[in-house]
């Protein structure tokens, strides 16, 4: 232990290394990072932290160390409640604990704490065993993606109290300009494509049903927000292809062509009837701000 005065910067970096260490205060104080900053022999913590009448320096530091992970795990549970119920508390916490070490918060807001959780689950997916398809982690990743996006849409930009495209305005739009026109989607519209039907699973789990994890099957949905409530819309492959083009800024002609391609063998009349019905629904649900 050096007797030289310690700068505030050194004390803070040491304190952070100790209280955020996954091995607790003892592991933290003995970590290479903490030792580089303030070299202490085991049991020398009181050279930095005073003891109280009741607690040793290590016991006092443990209050911060315990709270660090407990607090952030609680937040992760709040962001991913359905994923937690799918995994069970113990497994979820083990994943989240490792995640918090790999992606510690770097923002003033907890709103970003879970933004890399889906990526983390992908990065740490186990190798498939012989004879297994190994896609089960996709279920977890898809579920995490759904829950994270619901949060983003809930508190992100919306269009409450703003004028939206109405059925009348769409009807009145000059037919000869239609193919070259562009629809402006609302900023809260998001498209999600899953490998597992996690939207249906999410609905069942929220209703308190104990449902086994589903088998793999493609699922596509749109998320949007109306009157501050997040809405989920299951989509077919042509609907998804169409809306994907809208979000990319394509013309109406291009978005219809994309839907037709995705619809495969559907005849023109059936597609036309479908398009009319889809636009009626999406305009009513406030997917578009305008057409121009």
Partner 1 sequence: MTPPRLGHSNLGLGVGLRSVHFDYILKNQPAVDWFEVISENFVDSQGRPRYVLQQIAERYPIVLHGVSLSIGSTDPLDFEYLGKLKRLARETGAEWISDHLCWTGVLGRNSHDLLPVPFTEETLKHVVERVRTVQDFLERPFVLENPSSYVTFQDSTMDEWEFVTRMAEEADCGLLLDVNNVYVSSFNHDTDPDRFIRSLPHERIVQFHLAGHSNYTQYIIDTHDNHVIDPVWELYRTAHQLTGGVSTLLEWDANIPPFPVVHEEVLKAKRFMGEHLPKEGEEEREPALAASGDTVFHPLHTIRPEVE
Residues that bind partner 1 (CB under 8 A): 5-9, 11-13, 15-16, 19-20, 46-50, 52-55, 57, 60-61, 63-64, 67-68, 70-72, 74-75, 78-79, 104-111, 150-151, 153-158, 160, 206, 225, 228-232
- Give the shortest CB-254-to-partner 1 separation in angstroms: 30
- Give the shortest CB-119-to-partner 1 separation in angstroms: 18
Grouping H, G, I as helix, E, B as strand and the rest as coil, residue 199 is: helix
Nearer Cβ to partner 1, position 199 or 239? 199
CB 208 within 8 A of CB 269: no
- CA atoms of 116 and 192, how far apart (whole Å): 16
Phi, psi angles (nearest 5°) of residue 185: -75, 155
- Give the shortest CB-158-to-partner 1 separation in angstroms: 6
Phi, psi angles (nearest 5°) of residue 13: -65, -40
Nearer Cβ to partner 1, position 78 or 273? 78
Nearer Cβ to partner 1, position 55 or 272? 55
- Give the shortest CB-227-to-partner 1 separation in angstroms: 9
At 280, list the tokens. Answer: 């009626």
Phi, psi angles (nearest 5°) of residue 6: -100, 135
Burial readout 127-166 (b: 16 or more C-beta within 10 A, e: otherwise): eeeeeeeeebebbbbbbbbbbbbbbbbeeeebbeeeebbe
Nearer Cβ to partner 1, position 12 or 166? 12
Strand partners, 222: 191, 233
- Give the shortest CB-120-to-partner 1 separation in angstroms: 17
Nearer Cβ to partner 1, position 225 or 245? 225
- CA atoms of 255 and 247, how far apart (whole Å): 10
Nearer Cβ to partner 1, position 17 or 141? 17
- Give the shortest CB-29-to-partner 1 separation in angstroms: 13
CA–CA distances in Å: residue 231 to residues 24, 153, 188, 222, 228: 42, 9, 10, 8, 9
- Give the shortest CB-162-to-partner 1 separation in angstroms: 12
What is the sign of the dihedral through the CA atoms of 79, 81, 87 and 93? positive
Nearer Cβ to partner 1, position 150 or 189? 150
């Amino acid at each position: 232990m050096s007797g030289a005065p310690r700068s505030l910067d050194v004390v803070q970096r040491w304190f952070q290394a100790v209280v955020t260490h996954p091995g607790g205060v003892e592991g933290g104080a003995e970590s290479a990072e903490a030792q580089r900053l303030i070299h202490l022999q085991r049991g020398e913590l009181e050279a930095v932290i005073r003891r109280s009448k009741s607690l040793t320096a290590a016991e006092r530091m443990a209050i911060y160390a315990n709270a660090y992970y407990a607090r952030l795990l609680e937040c992760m549970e709040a962001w991913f409640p359905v994923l937690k119920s799918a995994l069970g508390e113990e497994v979820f916490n083990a994943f989240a604990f490792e995640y918090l070490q790999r992606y510690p918060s770097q923002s003033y807001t907890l709103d970003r704490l879970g933004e890399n959780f889906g990526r983390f689950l992908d990065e740490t997916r186990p190798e498939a065993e012989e004879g297994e398809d190994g896609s089960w982690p996709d279920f977890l990743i898809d579920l995490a993606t759904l829950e994270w996006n619901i949060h983003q849409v809930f508190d992100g930009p919306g269009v409450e109290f703003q004028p939206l495209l109405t059925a009348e305005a769409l009807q009145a739009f000059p037919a000869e300009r239609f193919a070259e026109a562009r629809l402006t989607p609302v900023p809260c519209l998001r498209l999600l494509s899953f490998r597992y039907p996690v939207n249906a699973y999410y609905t069942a789990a929220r209703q308190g049903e104990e449902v086994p994890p589903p088998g793999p099957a493609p699922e596509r949905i749109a998320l949007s927000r109306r009157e501050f409530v997040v809405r989920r819309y299951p989509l077919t492959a042509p609907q998804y292809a169409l809306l994907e083009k809208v979000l990319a800024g394509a013309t109406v002609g291009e978005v219809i062509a994309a839907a037709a391609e995705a619809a495969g063998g559907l005849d023109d009349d059936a597609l036309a009837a479908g398009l009319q019905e889809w636009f009626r629904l999406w305009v009513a649900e406030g997917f578009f701000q305008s057409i121009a």
